[in-house]
Structure 1
């Protein structure tokens, strides 16, 4: 897939009006990543988690292209990156890198995250952006094996 020109999108803070679009993008992106899982069935759980955990406790940055949501990132005050979601149409482009750069600006001392151990595309992306593998764990919600990764300047 061709790289996207960084001038064709903009980053901005999340607004409440973005809720439906961010939830729909989360669902579509995870569904493409894990087609055997029914993410439509998880939307009510995700909406509750979004509203009650992420929105009140994290900085959320939106990537927008031509007025349409192309991706987002959530990072809390401790530097925990809970979500990096990019529309599959933009995978391989500059949006994910721009969102990670923004996360590094917001949390300049350290960023930690958990990534599914079988999501090699994401693991390679994080490694290219300076994250190192710091251990293994199990996601308490899904039961999937995850890798802990960390970035420090």
Structure 2
């Protein structure tokens, strides 16, 4: 059984750990993509788009950041990042629960259509398919998903 984790609001001191966790997680999910080459782009997006416009909840365990979720005022969940060693644990569900608490009128998100694990996870957590879309950055197909209370 793993040690308990705590959830709290993001603080500016979490930036480097959050960026590193994003890189690690996405690199493991999509090993054929060079996410190291995208870190500077991500840091800029993190600082200019997500931090000023979203509530960010982080998960810590033993002093290490092991996950985070971002949810903006419109109910858009841009990022749910869980350290790969915690995939399949209750951590993702706890982070989605925080997003639901912060956006009680509903949540929308986009998930890559080839990310079957994430799609199954969101469906288990009450999200339904709400149509197809295209990722504006990658041009790849995504599934729009929604949760309504």
Alignment partner, residue 120 of structure 2: 124
Task: Kindly indicate whether the alpha-carbon contact (under 8 Å) linking 1:138 and 1:145 is maintained by their aligned counterparts in 2.
Answer: yes
Equivalences for residues 12-23 of structure 1 within 5 A: 12-23=8-19
Alignment partner, residue 106 of structure 2: 110
- CA deviations on 1:4-63 (whole Å, 9 max, x unpaired) are 56xx00000000000000000000000000000000000010000000000000000000
Which structure exhibits the higher relative contact order, with contacts defined as CA atoms closer than 8 Å and separated by 6 or more residues?
Answer: 1
Q: How many residues were matched structurally?
A: 149
Q: Which runs of 5+ in 2 are unaligned?
A: none
Task: Choose the corresponding residue for 2:70, options 67, 74, 85.
Answer: 74
Alignment partner, residue 100 of structure 1: 96
TM-score, structure 2 length as denominator? Answer: 0.98
2:130 is aligned with 1:134: yes
| Partner Cα separation in structure 1 for residue 117 and residue 135 of structure 2 | 18
Equivalences for residues 137-152 of structure 1 within 5 A: 137-152=133-148
- What RMSD, in angstroms, separates the aligned Cα atoms of the two structures? 0.9
Task: Kindly indicate whether the alpha-carbon contact (under 8 Å) linking 1:4 and 1:95 is maintained by their aligned counterparts in 2.
Answer: no
2:40 is aligned with 1:44: yes
2:33 is aligned with 1:28: no
- Secondary structure of the residue that 1:75 maps to in structure 2? strand
- Secondary structure of the residue that 2:51 maps to in structure 1? helix
- CA deviations on 1:77-132 (whole Å, 9 max, x unpaired) are 01000000000010011110000001000000100000000000000000000000
Q: CA deviation at 1:143?
A: 1.1
Alignment partner, residue 59 of structure 2: 63
